[in-house]
């Protein structure tokens, strides 16, 4: 296996275009584990951890843009990630150990397409877009269209995910995130939920997006919940009805699995906590 360290995006893209059986490495937190287990089938590796163009968090007009090689720790520490994005910081902070957060990248978390990817539900709830670049093209797609199955995405062999972007929340908008793991740290998510909402002066939900992790083949938007809650006054009755709707949907989704009953109930509790955290931020 040959390895090449790139320092520019175009440099990495040219090499990627020249080698068919090629893999990228940024943080390497998953890559190294797979390599040690003999699960990698590649002839050439491109190290993009030194590509500064892929790092950092920027405010560009009404958008926040995150470089794909930005680490989880950098997201946690960034002042641009405001209180209304507290859920994004919570998602980043829930990833592994401090050592993993210092090395692992948001782009890697997305491209691994794990059902339990901690960052992805939060980014889905923010209605994020991603930019995929090749030597001769650049395309922007919605993150919700990126995943096709467990561990599978629509990214092409000659493309690199370079940027994640979403609109910066405004007044009365906020993101809430909550994760259930087997223990408080170093735990892969059993269930995670993120909600993005906007409320008006009488507690009516003007905008609502929800996304889950670990209860499907990949992290996904929860459209039934969104349709049910948009336009409703947020009170205990509305929350309880939404939780029952989610329980039924998750149970049907996981029908036949031993975990279906547990995950349907636990999903409801996880969602409830996420929306309560989001509401707290909305209220300031």
Predicted pLDDT at 182: 62
Q: Is 61 inside a domain boundary?
A: no
pLDDT band for position 187 (cuts 50, 70, 90): very low
Residue 191's CATH number? 3.30.390.50
The mean per-residue pLDDT over the stretch 68-89 comes to 94
Q: Which two tokens stand for residue 274?
A: 């996420």
* CA gap 99, 71 in Å, rounded: 11
| Contact partners, residue 226, CB within 8 Å, separation at least 6 | 208, 209, 210
Predicted pLDDT at 34: 79
Q: Is 245 inside a domain boundary?
A: yes
pLDDT at 195 over 80: yes
Predicted pLDDT at 189: 52
Residue 107: helix, strand or coil by DSSP?
A: helix
Average pLDDT score, the chain: 93
Q: Is 198 inside a domain boundary?
A: yes
Beta-strand ranges (E) seen in 79-204 are 129-133, 138-142, 147-149, 152-153, 160-167, 173-181, 189-199
Residue 4's CATH number? 3.30.43.10
Give how many domains the chain has, as a whole number.
Answer: 2
Last residue of a domain, one of 35, 50, 65: 50
Q: Is 56 inside a domain boundary?
A: no
Domain range for 240 is 174-282
Q: Which tens digits make up the pLDDT trace of 208-245?
A: 999 999 999 999 999 999 999 999 999 999 999 999 99
Q: Which tens digits make up the pLDDT trace of 98-157?
A: 999 999 999 999 999 999 999 999 999 999 999 999 999 999 999 999 999 999 999 999
The mean per-residue pLDDT over the stretch 40-64 comes to 94
Residue 226: helix, strand or coil by DSSP?
A: helix
Q: Is 183 inside a domain boundary?
A: yes
Q: Is 250 inside a domain boundary?
A: yes
Predicted pLDDT at 242: 98
């Amino acid at each position: 296996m040959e390895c090449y360290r790139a320092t520019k995006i175009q440099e990495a893209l040219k090499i990627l275009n020249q080698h068919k059986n090629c893999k990228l490495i940024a943080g390497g937190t998953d890559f190294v584990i797979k390599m040690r287990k003999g699960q990698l089938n590649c002839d050439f590796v491109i190290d993009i951890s030194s590509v500064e163009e892929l790092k950092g968090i920027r405010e560009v007009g009404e958008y926040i843009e995150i470089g794909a090689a930005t680490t989880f720790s950098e997201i946690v520490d960034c002042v641009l990630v405001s209180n209304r994005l507290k859920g994004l910081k919570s998602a980043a902070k829930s990833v592994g150990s401090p050592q993993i957060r210092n090395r692992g990248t948001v782009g890697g978390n997305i491209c691994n397409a794990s059902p339990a990817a901690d960052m992805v539900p939060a980014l889905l709830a923010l209605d994020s877009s991603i930019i995929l670049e090749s030597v001769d093209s650049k395309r922007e797609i919605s993150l919700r269209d990126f995943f096709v199955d467990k561990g599978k995405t629509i990214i092409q062999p000659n493309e690199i995910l370079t940027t994640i972007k979403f609109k910066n929340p405004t007044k009365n908008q906020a993101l809430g995130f909550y994760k259930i793991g087997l223990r408080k740290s170093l735990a892969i998510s059993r269930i995670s939920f993120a909600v993005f909402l906007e409320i008006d002066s009488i507690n009516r939900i003007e905008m609502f997006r929800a996304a889950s992790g670990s209860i499907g083949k990949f992290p996904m938007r929860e459209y039934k919940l969104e349709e049910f809650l948009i336009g409703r006054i947020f009170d205990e009755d509305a929350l309880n009805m939404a939780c029952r709707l989610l329980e039924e949907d998750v149970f049907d989704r996981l029908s036949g699995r031993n975990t279906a009953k547990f995950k349907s109930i636990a999903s409801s509790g996880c969602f409830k906590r996420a929306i309560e955290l989001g509401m707290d931020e909305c209220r300031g």
